[in-house]
Structure 1
Amino acid sequence: MSDMTQPTPAAGLKRHLPLLTILSVAVIGFFTLGDYLTFDTLRDNREALLNLRDSHFALMALGFVAVYIVIVAFSLPGAAVASVTGGFLFGLWAGTLFNVVAATIGAVAIFLAARAGLGQALSAKLETSEGTVKKLKNGLQENEVSVLFLLRLVPVVPFFVANLLPALVGVKFRNFLMTTALGIIPGAFVFTSIGVGLGEVFDRGETPDLSLLWAPHVIGPILGLAALAALPIVIKAIRGKKEI
C-alpha cells in the first residue's frame, strides 16, 4: 500500500511556482524594462503625472503604491527611481509613507514565495543539522531581530538578498515584517527627500544625484543605526566568552 503522505512531483513544483515566477519575471524585466523605468521617462511624463495627481490624488497614490509593489516583488529595475518619484509626486512625508508601505509589501511577497518553496526545504534541513551549521542556526535564532535590522541598514546588502535570505533560513515572519518596515525607513527618507527637489533638477537639465546616500552626513547616521542593531550580538558574544 503506497504512502499517501508522500508529496507528488506536481505538488513539489506547485510549491516552488511562486518563487520561480518571481525569478522568471525578474530576469525578463532586467533585460526589457531597464530603458523604461528611468529618470528620463519620469522627466518626459512629469506634467501628465502631476496633473493626474492634482485631479485624482487617491487614485494616483494607489496606482503608485501598486506599481512600486510590483517593482519590488519581482525585483524589477527602477526601485530607486520609484522611491525618488514618491517624493516628487507626494512630498516628503506622504512620499516616504507610500515608499515604505509599498517596499514592505513587495518584500513580504518575495519572503512568502521563497519560504513556501526553497525556504521550507532548507529550514527542515537546518533543523536537523549538526556541528557548525547548527551553531550558526542557533546563533541566528538568538539574534534574529538584530541580524534582520543589519540586513536592512547596511547599504551594501542588495534589497533582494535581504528579502530572500531570511526566508531561506527560516526566520519568523513577524520579525521579518517588523524589521523590514522599520529598517527601510532611513533609506526611504533619503531617496524621498531627493525626489522633493526633483522638479528643480529637471528644470536645470540635470539628473538626480543618488550618490547623496553615501555623503558622510547621510551614511553616518545610517551606519550608526546599524551599529546599534549589532550591539546586542556583540554583547552576547562577549558574555559568552566570559562564561567560557
Structure 2
Amino acid sequence: MDGADAPPTPPGRRWPLRVGVLAVFAAGLGLFFALGGHQALSFETLSTHHETIRAWVTNHQGLAMVAFVAAYVGIVAFSVPGAVWMSIAGGYLFGTALATLLIVTGATAGATGIFLAARFVFGEAWRARVKGSIARLETGFRENAFSSLLVLRLVPLFPFWLVNLVPAFVGVPTRTYVLATALGIIPGAAVYASVGNGLEAVLAAGGRPDLGLIYDPEIFAPLLGLAALALVPTLYKRWKGRAR
C-alpha cells in the first residue's frame, strides 16, 4: 500500500506518537553532538585519519559498506551536518561508482524515514493549520509530483532537509517520493564521490577539497539541463490544458 493511501492514525493516538518521534529525534541529535559527531564529520578528521580508516575498510569491506550506509541514513534522517564530507569520504574509501550507489541508498532511506515520520505523525495537524495558504501549492505539487520533486533534487538550491519535509505536507505519494529522490540525488552524489576519489592527491599537495565544486558552470549547467528536461512533462501538461 502506498503511503498516500495508508489509513490515518486515530486522533487519540497521535499525541503519544508525536511526542515519541520528537523524543527520538531530540535524543538522536543530542547523542550526535555529545559524541562529537559534528567534529568527526569534518575535513580535519578525514585528513588526519584517512589512511587508518582506509586500512580498516580494506580489511572489512562488507561491514564497512553496511556501516557507511547506516551512518548516512542517520545523518539524513536526523538532518545533522556533515553529509558532504561523508560523501567525500565514501568516494575516497570505495571509489566513485560504489560510493555513489552507497550514498544514494543511504540518503534515500534516510530521507524516506523523515518523510514518513513527518507525514504520518505531524502532517495532518500541520496541513489543517495552514490549509488555505498551501492549497494551490498542494494541488500543483500533487499533479506534477515526480517532475517537481526531481527538479528540487537535481538542482541543490534548497536545503536537503527542507526538500525532505515539504512533500510530506503536500500529499506526494511515497512511491513517487522515493523514486524521484533516488534519481535526483545521483548526479550530486557522483560529483562529491568523485571529489573523494581524488582526495589522496589533494591531501598530498596540501590542499583542501572544493565543496562548492557542484556550483561550477561545467557541473551546474548540466544539472540545470536535466532539471529542464524533468520539467517537460509538467510544461506539456499545462500547455495541453490551456489548449483545451
Distance 2:26 2:168 in 1: 15
Spell out the pairing of 1:112-131 with structure 2 (5 A cutoff): 112-122=116-126
1:45 aligns with 2:49: yes
* Matched ranges for 1:174-213 at <5 A: 174-213=175-214
Q: Does 1:64 align with 2:71?
A: no
In structure 2, what is the Cα distance between the partners aligned to 1:166 and 1:36?
31
Task: State yes or no: 1:13 paired with 2:15.
Answer: yes
Q: CA RMSD for the aligned pairs?
A: 2.4
Query: 2:83 matched to which residue of 1?
Result: 79
Q: State which structure, 1 or 2, has the greater radius of gyration over its C-alpha atoms.
A: 1
Question: Equivalences for 1:89-100 in 2 at 5 Å?
Answer: 89-100=93-104
The AA in structure 2 aligned to 1:74 is: F
Q: Share of identical aligned residues, percent?
A: 42
* Structure 1 gap ranges (5+): none
Structure 1 counterpart of 2:65, one-letter code: A
Q: CA deviation at 1:186?
A: 0.6
CA contact (8 A) 2:142 2:171 kept: no
Unaligned runs of 5+ in 2: 1-8
TM-score by length of 1: 0.86
**Aligned-residue offset at 1:178:** 0.4
Report 1:206-221 matches (<5 A). Answer: 206-221=207-222
Higher mean C-alpha deviation, range 228-237 or range 162-171: 228-237
Alignment correspondent of 1:34: 38
DSSP-derived class of the 1:35 partner: helix
Following TM superposition, by how much is the alpha carbon of 1:42 offset from its aligned partner in structure 2, in angstroms? 1.0
Which residue identity does 1:54 align to in structure 2? T
Aligned residue-pair number: 234
1:156 aligns to 2:160 (yes or no): no
Q: Deviations over 1:121-164 (max 9, x none)?
A: 345678xx67x754443322211111111121121111101111
